[in-house]
Amino acid sequence: MADQTQIDRLRLRDIAPQSLFIDGAWQPGAGGELDVVSPIDGATLTTLAVASATDVENAVASARRAFDDGCWSRQSPAARKKVLYAIADKIEAEALELAVLGVRDNGTEFNMAFKAEPGSAAGTFRYYAEALDKVAGEVAPTASDVLALVHRMPVGVVGAIVPWNFPLMIAAWKLAPALAMGNSVVLKPAESASLSLLRLAEICSECGLPDGVLNVVTGTGAETGATLAKSMGVDVLAFTGAGTTGRRLLEASAASNLKRCYLELGGKSPNIVFADAPDLAKAAKVSAMGIFRNSGQVCVAGSRLLVEASIHDEFVEALKAEAEALRVGDPLDLTTQVGAVNSEEQLRRNLSFVDMARAEGGRVLTGGNRILQDLGGSYMAPTIVTGVTPDTALFQREVFGPVLAVTKFETEEQALTLANATSFGLASAVWTADLSRAHRMVAGIRAGLVHVNTYGGSDNTVPLGGVGQSGNGHDKSLHALDKYVDLKTAWIQL
């Protein structure tokens, strides 16, 4: 683990203007440049190249050439495994540098970023390196005079569009299984979190990934992302981000080549606390971090707290104390527990939801305001709003900020109804000592992930995906491989 002196030294490093990574080489972008503004202090760190439509299509063509010539797609599983392991080792070796670079770019508190970004990404590449030669085709049980084989074939070119909150982690969830299955990839990072992914492309090349197998195009969603989504040369599109963008990606697929789209679109996840929770103090502490870590910029954040009426006041006071005790500040300070909001635009959005909540009858128990303006960056106090009803914006819409909506319930049936009263279905949690109740709630909550007596934390052995307007398809686990293969039947008459 790093010490403060190492972090402070790395935060002072100059960052050169960035280029596109296409066909194994750095190339300028024809679409101009974007400033990279750090949410820590508002300073401009460097510039990104903006990939024009032509640049994106060049990257797609490079990926297609690499796929068709078999330099990666037809390598043996053992050869692909060796490269993916090397990438994991290199990420781990550069974990400190990657973590600081990412924090300067997107504002996540260092202690979380170090584990969730390079730490998680290295683990993900290792997981799929180990898995890739354990996934085989099938021999179907058919007539005795026929041999029926089911082959798992790489799809070809994968377009991956990833968000700014955990760029390395989420990119690895898409890149590692896609590469493990022999595909080529064109990766489009978020404008406000591209730096660590450009370095990842370089790492992959240094570790033996052939030219063209991974290309990174930076730029705006309106041009760079839209061109990737509409490209006739992309076979599968994997996306994590907002539902409005997800809808546009589906429209682009329909208007182009009907590419498969896998969309993780966030949530409004319920965190349900019953009076018989085994440890209410623990529930309050964990629930606070379940919404306030990374300034609430977590897709599975427990942003709706549902509390049994008999303990509502007591529990909310405990939660308020936890929230007010959190140290918000410079994310590169090791004593900081909650870092910066990613951008001024996101901070304004967060504050607008607090204003709407007040207008709709909610009570701001703590927070609700911008803080630490003297630092020059984007910071918000952890915010708790009580009295939130199902017909309000704060109950229904994803904020993606450190804003918790609190609603009380009387019965288990009412809790379940409230839990399912939004269009989302990504994550959830239940706190109870009643094993039967826990199982009933797991069965009844419409979500891809249900925590019991905890919030947050799952590893690569289990899938992450949502239902409803939280999207489709799954990242993580062996199930993620299904997105990046086609099934081909061979029917052989004997």
Q: How do the domains of the chain map onto residue ranges?
A: 4-265+471-493, 270-459
Q: Identify whether the C-beta of residue 210 lies closer than 8 Å to the C-beta of residue 234.
A: no
Active site residue 412: no
For residue 19, report the phi and psi dihedrals to the nearest 5 degrees: -120, 175
pLDDT tens for the 494 residues of the chain, in order: 689 999 999 999 999 999 999 999 999 999 999 999 999 999 999 999 999 999 999 999 999 999 999 999 999 999 999 999 999 999 999 999 999 999 999 999 999 999 999 999 999 999 999 999 999 999 999 999 999 999 999 999 999 999 999 999 999 999 999 999 999 999 999 999 999 999 999 999 999 999 999 999 999 999 999 999 999 999 999 999 999 999 999 999 999 999 999 999 999 999 999 999 999 999 999 999 999 999 999 999 999 999 999 999 999 999 999 999 999 999 999 999 999 999 999 999 999 999 999 999 999 999 999 999 999 999 999 999 999 999 999 999 999 999 999 999 999 999 999 999 999 999 999 999 999 999 999 999 999 999 999 998 789 999 999 999 999 999 999 999 999 999 999 999 99
The rounded distance, in Å, linking the Cα atoms of 106 and 341 is: 8
CA-based angle 94:97:98, to the nearest 5? 80
296: left (phi over 0), alpha (psi -120 to 50) or beta: left
Beta carbons of 365 and 384 less than 8 angstroms apart? yes
Instruction: Please indicate, yes or no, whether the overall pTM of this predicted structure exceeds 0.75.
Output: yes
Contact 403, 385 (CB under 8 A): yes
User: β-strands 157-161, 260-264: how paired?
Assistant: unpaired
pLDDT reported for residue 456: 87
One-letter-per-residue 3-state SS of the chain:
CCCHHHHHHHHCCCCCCCCEEECCEEECCCCCEEEEECCCCCCEEEEEECCCHHHHHHHHHHHHHHHHHCCCCCCCHHHHHHHHHHHHHHHHHCHHHHHHHHHHHHCCCHHHHHHHHHHHHHHHHHHHHHHCCCCCCEEECCCCCEEEEEEEEECCEEEEECCCCCHHHHHHHHHHHHHHCCCEEEEECCCCCCHHHHHHHHHHHHCCCCCCCEEECCCCHHHHHHHHHHCCCCCEEEEECCHHHHHHHHHHHHHCCCCEEEEECCCCCEEEECCCCCCHHHHHHHHHHHHHHHHHCCCCCCCEEEEEHHHHHHHHHHHHHHHHHCCECCCCCCCCCECCCCCHHHHHHHHHHHHHHHHCCCEEEECCCECCHHHCCCCECCEEEECCCCCCHHHHCCCCCCEEEEEEECCHHHHHHHHCCCCCCCCCEEECCCHHHHHHHHHHCCCCCCEECCCCCCCCCCCECCCHHHECCCECCHHHHHHHEEEEEEEEEC
Domain 4-265+471-493, architecture per CATH? 3-Layer(aba) Sandwich (3.40)
Over the Cα atoms of the chain, what is R_g?
23
Q: What CATH number was assigned to the domain covering residues 270-459?
A: 3.40.309.10
> Contact, 137 vs 150, CB < 8 A?
yes
Question: How many of the other CB atoms lie within 10 Å of CB of 213?
Answer: 25
Which residues, at least 6 apart from 60, have a Cβ–Cβ distance to it below 8 Å? 157, 159, 186, 215, 228, 231, 233, 234
Which position among 109, 264, 322, 412 bears the catalytic label? 264
Q: How far apart are CA 400 and CA 381, in angstroms?
A: 14
Residue pair 273/283 in contact (Cβ under 8 Å)? The answer is yes
**Distance in angstroms (rounded) separating the CA atoms of residues 439 and 267:** 22
Do the beta carbons of residue 272 and residue 415 sit within 8 Å? yes
Instruction: Give the Cβ contact number of residue 462 at 10 Å.
Output: 12
Other C-beta atoms lying within 10 Å of the C-beta of residue 436: 8
| Amino acid 1: pLDDT | 65
Give the residue from 382, 355, 204 showing the smallest Cα distance to 284: 382
- Residue 481 identity (one-letter amino acid): L
